[in-house]
Amino acid sequence: MSAAAPVERWWRTDVARFVAGGNLAGALVTFSYFSFIDRNEVPTGTGANAAFFVIAFVGISGLGMLISARWRPSTLAGASDVADAEMRRRALTMPFALAGISAMGWLLSGLAWGVLWPALTGELTMARALRLIIGVTLVGGTITTSFIFFAVERAWRRRLPILFPRGDLSSVAGVPRLRVRLRLVAVFLLVGFLPMLLVGRFAYGRAVAIASAGPAAAPDLLGHMALVIAFLVGVGALTAVGLAAFVSRSVAEPLRELEGAMARVGAGDLDTRCPVVSNDEIGAVAEGFNRMVAGLRERERIRETFGKYVSPEVRDEILAGRARLDGQVREVTILFSDLRDFTPWVESHPPDEVVRDLNEYFTLMEGAIRAHGGLVVQFIGDEIEAVFGAPVATPAHADHAVAAALEMRTRLAAWNEARRARGSVKLEHGIGVHTGAVLAASIGSPDRLSYALVGDPVNLASRLQSLTKEVGGDLLVSGETVRRLRTPVSLEALPAVRVKGRVAEVEVYRAG
């Protein structure tokens, strides 16, 4: 079902009801006006009068239906499908168009009854034509046009999100914008100025008539004047209540929607949207709100993506600006791990299986590192380089690094059990842990940076990882790290060793 299908059903039901109801109300007001107020201007005739009424009504109604067909929703496939700017413009101008067509119909009716019919009956005078045009067009037409505009606009607002799912109403050019201030001024003129104008006109006319009439006619003239005032007050009150209800809702309902959307965003729902139902100031605020929420979603997506590269704690410190990435020397504990016999394993297994197993291994190991506050600096082939104590300073970085290394051993053993159950080969790794002062900084080109550790402790941690192949075991910890442990760990002291690139021997401890 196309986006315009439910709107088309609405056009056939609600719009027809609004237009018919508005014109009926206008016709009743006009009939009452000429029956009780301007009784001398009722057109004469009987059968011919009725025939002319039918012909004029059918002609004006047919013309209105023909013109309004341009705004029928079946011609609008929806903003997501329509590239034609004219179609988008028509969708937004529908309330204006239907109100304008109605106003045109009442103007033609005023001309038909005030000019054409009196000309056909030989009763045409300038004063008579003017009074009939005012009664038909200004009194009945104004009420009808106002009702149709506000009724259609209010109902149309519930359909606009269907035709404009992106809510980009302000991007459509050539559409009139009925701003809130202008809306309020128009209502004031309709419910305040127009009734006062009519009351003043009739009060003046009756005052002149009373002054020129005899005492016997004065009571009748005063009674008719009271009837006129009562009629105008009644119609004005009904019109004021109806228009006030429409206008207040046109302002309050979008603000209520915006308030609800803001509350949902405040509760953490960044998938919410505020429907954009107008192109006035309130619609602009709703569009701006949706753009802001889209920016928040993008920021959250970046934040979550960033959190895949660093621990959530490190991510939050960096985004909050509390972690310096411009280079600083600090004491940290570095961890290196490396898979044993990686090259033969790669050569003897299909590439997709190697990639799958390597990703599983990295996921398990990185999870253990993050669980203890560490940051994986980089994956190098089958090797992992991690740091504890940077970029966010952690006093117990040595304890966290050793705890992470022990958990990595435990996770690998459990993973190997699962691999053995499905017939896969057992994998082993070596881990080296060392503590020392390094330069931690963002290093690279202006277009691409990488958080890196520079210093001899990095090299020594890597050498310790390689040394596990020679001394046996899968976890070696330097003496510097052991001396900084706050919680003792069961480690076996090994004879001091000499590593490549160092003159002095290094104290090492092996985990049992």
Half-sphere exposure of residue 331, counting CA atoms within 13 Å on the CB side? Answer: 10
Tell which of 137, 171, 205 closes a domain: 171
CA dist 378 → 183, 385, 494 (Å): 62, 6, 29
CA dist 250 → 150, 153, 158, 183, 184 (Å): 8, 9, 11, 10, 11
Residue 439 is assigned to a structural domain of this protein = yes
User: Rounded to whole angstroms, how far apart are CA atoms 182 and 394?
Assistant: 62
Q: Which residues pair with 432 in a beta bridge?
A: 336, 476
User: Rounded to whole angstroms, how far apart are CA atoms 227 and 221?
Assistant: 10
User: Looking at residue 449, which CATH number applies to its domain?
Assistant: 3.30.70.1230
Q: Name residue, tokens 């202008």.
A: 182
Q: Please give the pLDDT value at position 80.
A: 42
Tell which of 147, 171, 195 closes a domain: 171
pTM confidence score: 0.56
Q: Alpha helices, DSSP H only, in 310-350?
A: 312-319, 342-347
Residue 295 is assigned to a structural domain of this protein = no
Q: Alpha helices, DSSP H only, in 36-93?
A: 47-68, 85-92
Q: What angle do CA 352, 355, 358 make, to 5 degrees?
A: 145
Q: Please give the pLDDT value at position 224.
A: 67
3-class DSSP string for 464-485: HHHHHHHHCCCEEEEHHHHHCC
Residue 274 is assigned to a structural domain of this protein = no
Nearest to 86 by CA among 174, 205, 153: 174
Q: Please give the pLDDT value at position 1.
A: 42
Domain hosting 383: range is: 322-511
Report whether 339 contacts 415 (CB < 8 A).
no
Residue 240 is assigned to a structural domain of this protein = no
Report whether 412 contacts 364 (CB < 8 A).
yes
Residue 12 is assigned to a structural domain of this protein = yes
State residue 487 phi and psi, 5-degree precision: -115, 120
DSSP 8-state code for residue 395: T
Report whether 172 contacts 85 (CB < 8 A).
yes
Sign of CA dihedral 108, 113, 117, 123: negative
- Indicate the number of domains in the chain: 2
Residue 302 is assigned to a structural domain of this protein = no
Rounded to a whole number of angstroms, the CA Rg of the chain reads: 42
Amino acid at 240: A
Report whether 304 contacts 372 (CB < 8 A).
no
| Tokens at 217, concatenated | 């006619």
Residue 204 is assigned to a structural domain of this protein = no
DSSP calls for 104-148: HHHHHHHHIIIIIHHHHHT---HHHHHHHHIIIIIIIIHHHHHHH
Report whether 249 contacts 155 (CB < 8 A).
no
User: Rounded to whole angstroms, how far apart are CA atoms 360 and 89?
Assistant: 55
State residue 165 phi and psi, 5-degree precision: -65, -25
Residue 423 is assigned to a structural domain of this protein = yes
Q: What is the pLDDT along the chain (512 residues), one digit of tens a residue?
A: 445 556 666 666 677 777 777 778 777 777 777 776 666 555 555 566 667 666 766 777 777 777 776 666 555 544 444 445 677 777 788 888 888 888 888 888 888 888 887 888 777 788 778 878 877 887 778 878 888 888 888 888 877 777 777 777 877 777 887 787 777 777 767 666 666 666 666 666 666 666 676 666 667 766 767 777 777 677 777 777 777 777 778 788 888 888 998 999 888 888 888 888 888 888 888 888 998 998 888 888 877 766 666 556 666 766 666 656 567 899 999 999 999 988 888 888 899 999 999 999 999 999 999 899 998 989 988 999 999 998 888 899 999 999 999 999 999 999 999 999 988 889 999 999 999 999 988 777 777 777 789 999 999 999 999 999 888 889 999 999 999 999 999 999 999 988 877 778 899 999 97
Tell which of 143, 171, 199 closes a domain: 171
User: Rounded to whole angstroms, how far apart are CA atoms 402 and 475?
Assistant: 9
User: Rounded to whole angstroms, how far apart are CA atoms 376 and 189?
Assistant: 70
